């Protein structure tokens, strides 16, 4: 019985502690961005066939964003294009592995390979690539400690665009919810090419609404 309780506590700590840390980070960023009247647009899972369109949209509003790229999809020309237009490139792992659903060494390897894919493209060592967004927003105690050890900054989000939700939200309603949750913060979009046009259009339409709002309200938009 005691052994069972100990095992449950260890497992709870292994998943629960990092979960609490990420939630605390979210709260901190939410407050910080709101007080500073700032916004950071982030695009995960790219590059994709939509990257060019996203870049054009951002250019039109002169806003810089952060692209959390998946290492296995990295292509030199696309990353060069993203960076040459003033956006930040950061890591989202290599194979988009959920750290909660794999062995610790698999997640560890995925983090390393994700950074290496960007290093290879830019010839820069790991210590210059400090931003990491965990796939599915999940880290374990093991990967959290590894990232801290490597001094990598973990980036969560404060507002999810909802573009990967099973049921795509209504653009106007989601925009309203964004405004009601302060209209600032770290916004999560996905640079994914979806088979259905409706979902691709949702990303462009909501993103444009956010960009217009940022411009109207003079919110400071920044890459991370
Ligand atoms: Zn992702």
Give tens-digit pLDDT for 123-159.
666 556 689 999 999 999 999 999 999 999 999 999 9
Q: What percent of the chain has pLDDT over 70?
A: 97
Tokens of 101: 């659903």
Domains and CATH numbers, the chain: 2-221 (3.20.20.370)
- Position 98 pLDDT exceeds 80: yes
DSSP state of 50: T
Q: Helix, strand or coil for residue 113?
A: helix
Q: How far apart are CA 124 and CA 116, in angstroms?
A: 9
Q: Is 222's pLDDT higher than 60? A: yes
The CA 206 to ligand 1 mean position distance, Å, reads: 18
Tell me, in angstroms, the distance from the centre of ligand 1 to residue 45's CA: 5
Centroid of ligand 1 to alpha carbon of 134 (angstroms): 7
Q: How confident is the model at residue 178 (pLDDT cuts 50, 70, 90)?
A: very high
Of the pLDDT bands very low, low, confident and very high (cuts 50, 70, 90), residue 77 is: confident
Give the whole-angstrom CA distance, residue 89 versus residue 131. Answer: 9
Residue of 139, 53, 132 whose CA lies nearest to 94: 132
Q: What separation in Å is there between the alpha carbon of 19 and the centre of ligand 1?
A: 17
Q: What spacing in Å lies between the alpha carbon of 189 and ligand 1's midpoint?
A: 9
Whole-Å CA distances, 117 to 57, 92, 161, 187: 26, 11, 27, 24
Better pLDDT: 210 or 17: 210
Mean pLDDT of 67-95: 92
pTM of the model: 0.93
- pLDDT tens digits along 108-133: 999 999 999 888 877 666 556 689 99
Ligand 1 centroid–CA 13 distance in Å is 24
Q: For the purposes of burial, counting CB atoms within 10 Å of the CB of 117, is it exposed (0-12), middle (13-18) or buried (19 or more)?
A: buried
Between the CA of 159 and the centroid of ligand 1 the distance, in Å, is 14
CA of 216 to the centre of ligand 1 (A): 30
Q: What is the mean pLDDT of residues 174-187?
A: 95
Q: How many angstroms is it from 68 CA to the middle of ligand 1?
A: 8
Q: What is the pLDDT of residue 159?
A: 96
What pLDDT is stored for residue 18 in this prediction?
87
Nearest to 147 by CA among 61, 44, 22, 26: 22
| Tokens describing residue 211 | 């960009």
């Amino acid at each position: 019985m005691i052994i069972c309780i100990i095992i449950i506590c260890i497992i709870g700590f292994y998943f629960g502690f990092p979960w609490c840390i990420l939630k605390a980070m979210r709260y901190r960023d939410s407050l910080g961005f709101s007080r500073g009247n700032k916004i950071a647009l982030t695009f995960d899972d790219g590059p994709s066939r939509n990257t060019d369109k996203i870049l054009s949209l951002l250019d039109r509003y002169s806003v810089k964003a952060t692209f959390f790229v998946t290492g296995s999809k990295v292509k030199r020309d696309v990353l060069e294009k993203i960076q040459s237009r003033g956006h930040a490139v950061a890591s989202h792992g290599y194979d988009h592995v959920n750290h909660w659903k794999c062995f610790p060494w698999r997640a560890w390897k995925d983090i390393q390979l994700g950074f290496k894919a960007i290093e290879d493209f830019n010839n820069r060592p790991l210590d210059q690539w400090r931003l990491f967004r965990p796939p599915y927003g999940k880290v374990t105690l093991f990967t959290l400690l590894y990232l801290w050890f490597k001094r990598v900054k973990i980036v969560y989000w404060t507002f999810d665009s909802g573009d990967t939700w099973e049921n795509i939200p209504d653009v106007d309603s989601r925009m309203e919810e964004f405004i009601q949750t302060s209209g600032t913060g770290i916004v999560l979009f996905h640079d994914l090419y979806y088979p259905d046009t409706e979902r691709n259009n949702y990303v462009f339409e909501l993103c444009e609404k956010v960009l217009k709002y940022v411009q109207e309200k003079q919110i400071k938009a920044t890459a991370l």
